[in-house]
Amino acid sequence: MVGKRLPYTPNSQIKSALRRLWLRSRERASAIKRDKYTCQRCHRKQSVAKGKEFKVEVHHKSGIENWQELYKAIRQHLLTNPDDLETLCPECHKSEDF
């Protein structure tokens, strides 16, 4: 049985897309490179050696406490009501973007 499709993008899908963006971000890559692929607490180094695989992660020191604000901003400015959207060809769309 397939569930009913929501008329809007669920928060879980927004969070997943933001996570994919974060995992490919230059800011995240810069932090890992700066810290030489090493945990800053236990000093364990990332490894890709077979049987000894170990990955480091990047942590936001101040945390991310504003998920609801992020969802609200994305819905307000990007995933807006379909009545506020129009379909354009690439050339017309380019002339509309700043």
Domain that holds residue 42: 11-58+65-79
Positive or negative: CA dihedral 58, 16, 64, 22: positive
- Total domains in the fold of the chain: 1
Helix, strand, or coil here: 61? coil
What whole-number distance in Å separates Cα of residue 25 and Cα of residue 68? Answer: 22
pLDDT tens digits, residue range 2-43? 668 888 899 999 999 999 999 999 999 999 999 999 999 999
Domain assignment present for residue 88? The answer is: no
Q: What is the pTM of this model?
A: 0.73
What the block records as the tokens of 7 is: 């008329």
pLDDT tens-place string over residues 44-73: 999 999 999 999 999 999 888 888 999 999
Decide if 43 is inside a domain.
yes
Q: With respect to residue 5, please indicate whether it lies within any of the assigned structural domains.
A: no
Contact in structure between 44 and 35 (CB atoms under 8 Å): no
Alpha-carbon distance of 67 to 16, in angstroms, equals 12
